[in-house]
Amino acid sequence: MKILVISDIHANLTALEAVLVDAGDFEATWCLGDVVGYGPDPNECIARIRHLPNLTCLLGNHDAAVTEQIEISSFNLEARISVGWTQTVISAASLKFLKGLSSTAKVAGQTLAHGSPRHPIWEYLLDSRSVSENFEFFDTPYCFVGHTHLPVIYELDDSHQMPAHIIPEPFEPVQLQGRAIINPGSVGQPRDRNPFASYAIFDSEANTIENRRAVYDIEAVQARMRFANLPQRHIHRLEIGW
């Protein structure tokens, strides 16, 4: 089965549409959370993903903040501003969709979480210790996560030593060998110094994961953000992928 793996769309419809065109045909969709937040198109992004084939969509921390399921005191000022703006424009249908999402799931024999299997909403997997500890919190071959906006594969071999840290080259499928934690990067706000929308294709039959990047009209998104008076920092970072 060819599965589209996306995360951290962050209300960027232009990037999402570019990913869907670039991905071609796929049989299922795994969205790892943060459909909204930062960007100017929350309702449009929700409407678009709801109709993707065999969708499993998770609750991210920004989705939870917009629906008032978590406190935003730990968010930085710009993120709080974006949450507040999103709450003023989000539709009743979009709110209902977000409130119905779970923070983790098991699908097709794999684990999905927004942040980590240990703490699905909040934990960032950015250091080797946290990554190693999280292998104890899922019992499937692979766990797919988002949240950091960084495409990466952490693979654990049979010796159960420290997991290998693999930065995937775009459009080069990686043959998975051991248990792994896999991050497809961010569709709507990449932070690996590459501004192009990041996503992945998981081939469950070939047992491969392929990171891909899709070019999109960043200036058009920035213009909509300026019109909405969203924070300048979030507008600027789109063009540099940070």
CATH number at residue 15: 3.60.21.10
Q: What is the pLDDT of residues 62-78, one digit of tens each?
A: 999 999 999 988 899 99
- Residue 1: CA atoms inside 13 Å, Cβ hemisphere, count? 14
Average pLDDT of the chain?
Answer: 96
In which domain, by residue range, is 171 found? 2-240
Structure tokens at 144: 């797919």
In three state form, how does the secondary structure of 211-237 look? Answer: EEEECCCHHHHHHHHHHCCCCHHHHHH
- Residue 62 has a pLDDT of 98
Q: What is the pLDDT of residues 129-170, one digit of tens each?
A: 999 999 999 999 999 999 999 999 999 877 667 899 999 999
Number of neighbours of residue 92 by Cβ within 10 angstroms: 7
Count of the separate structural domains present in the chain: 1
pTM above 0.75, yes or no: yes
- Residue 73 has a pLDDT of 86
Q: What is the pLDDT of residues 2-33, one digit of tens each?
A: 999 999 999 999 999 999 999 999 999 999 99
